[in-house]
A = this chain, B = another copy of it.
Amino acid sequence: MKFTIQRDRFVESLQDVMKAVSSRTTIPILTGVKLLVTDEGVTLTGSDSDISIETIIPKIEDEHVIVEIERTGSIVLQARFFNDIIRKLPEDTVMIEVKDNLQTFIKSGNAEFSINGLDAEEYPRLPQIEEEEVYKLPTDLLKAMIRQTVFAVSTSETRPILTGVHWRIEKNELTCVATDSHRLAWRKAPLESDLNHSHSVVIPGKSLNELNKILDDSQDLIEMVLTQNQILFKTKNLLFFSRLLEGNYPDTSRLIPNESKTDVILNAKEFLQAIDRASLLAREGRNNVVKFSTIGNESVEISSDSPEIGRVVEIVQTQSITGEELKISFSGKYLMDALKAIDSAEIKISFTGAMRPFVLRSIDNDFILQLILPVRTF
């Protein structure tokens, strides 16, 4: 194996692959990154066995020569070192050559590294996925859907299935749901495919967070392929594999109330900032509890207190309040998370009483919904 590559482009791909490499793995070879050089270009692979990432650097890109290949082959190199070395090399190009005994030479300008490699044959194979059913959606939409749901997954391993986001594909529509049993995030979007199959899978929250870090905010379509225990996301030069969580996701559709007794419409930003201030004191108490009371038909009072520190109270003007008077308490943090996820100028909150879950929606569309369980205090 011997090739010369544009260093910037190499660093970029290496950075993506590094996101799958963990230093805390029980399989030593997975602390490495695999390089595979073929006549087409260089493929990099990183994996922590839950997530695997593969990037392809073609020989020529946008009419520029990126890689010059002298000899094909493959090697596995210690990922952290290799990445640090490549980043710190002095010149714009770097030459990499595997010699005898897996010894790998890295040369750029006057700097010459010789590092010990591992046999690429011993690197685990990535899952082979038949690409029969390919779903597509714009990358920026996928990123938004992940961001708007993944924060609500459970961080506790007591019910492992809740650490994932439930994805349902039905009638060419994707619905994402996450819940930690105290709140629930729900997001829906149409798919750009013409398949009439149904799927129901649970993707680890961690995988979705990593995927979101790697993807650029572009309108290019991203491809998704589903199997029994893996999902593959595919862009032009990147393959992202994640294992799926095993088990049945709870039926969450019954949790969302159909009716409401009090509806409040208000400016999301003003409300968020008031909750943020109230949370300063609420944080100290247990559960981060903020109190919310309607005042007539025009405003709400947000308050919070902590015996040690003091008390905060704030009146927030609303667009409208319809229905019954209400006093309710909830986690300030959950409410802020929900408001940030909805990301709309005006929001509608629908309550069905002080002890029942309440729902936040954008007033502009019904593609997103956030549900929060109240806390008993009044």
Interface positions, chain A 97-144, Cβ under 8 Å from B, are 103-104, 110-116
Interface string of A139-183 (1 = CB under 8 A from B): 000000000000000000000000000000000000000000000
Interface positions, chain A 12-38, Cβ under 8 Å from B, are none
Would B110 and A314 count as touching, CB distance under 8 A?
Answer: yes
A78-B313 in contact given A88-B280, A111-B277, A277-B89 (Cβ < 8 Å) = no
Q: Which residues of B contact A113 (CB under 8 A)?
A: 277, 281, 310-312
Closest CB in chain B relative to A50 CB, distance in Å: 26
Would A115 and B84 count as touching, CB distance under 8 A?
Answer: no
22 A-B pairs, CB-CB below 8 angstroms?
Answer: A81-B280, A81-B281, A85-B277, A85-B280, A85-B312, A88-B277, A88-B280, A89-B277, A90-B274, A110-B315, A110-B316, A111-B274, A111-B312, A111-B314, A112-B314, A113-B277, A113-B281, A113-B310, A113-B311, A114-B310, A114-B311, A116-B309
Q: Which residues of B contact A111 (CB under 8 A)?
A: 274, 277, 312, 314
- Tell me if A273 is interfacial: C-beta within 8 Å of chain B: yes
- Tell me if A337 is interfacial: C-beta within 8 Å of chain B: no
Copies in the complex: 2
Closest CB in chain B relative to A228 CB, distance in Å: 39
Interface positions, chain A 334-372, Cβ under 8 Å from B, are none
Closest CB in chain B relative to A282 CB, distance in Å: 12
CA distance A112 to B85 in the complex (A): 55
CA distance A113 to B280 in the complex (A): 10
- Tell me if A276 is interfacial: C-beta within 8 Å of chain B: yes
Q: Which residues of B contact A309 (CB under 8 A)?
A: 78, 81, 115-116
Interface positions, chain A 272-315, Cβ under 8 Å from B, are 273-274, 276-277, 280-281, 308-315
Give the residue name and chain of the B residue nearest to A108 (CB): B277
Q: Which residues of B contact A277 (CB under 8 A)?
A: 85, 88-90, 111, 113
A-B contact sample (18 more), CB < 8 A, given A111-B274, A111-B277: A81-B309, A85-B280, A88-B276, A88-B277, A88-B280, A89-B277, A90-B274, A90-B277, A103-B310, A110-B274, A110-B315, A113-B277, A113-B310, A114-B310, A114-B311, A115-B309, A116-B308, A116-B310
Give the residue name and chain of the B residue nearest to A85 (CB): B280
Closest CB in chain B relative to A249 CB, distance in Å: 37
Q: Which residues of B contact A110 (CB under 8 A)?
A: 274, 314-316
Interface positions, chain A 71-92, Cβ under 8 Å from B, are 78, 81, 84-85, 88-90
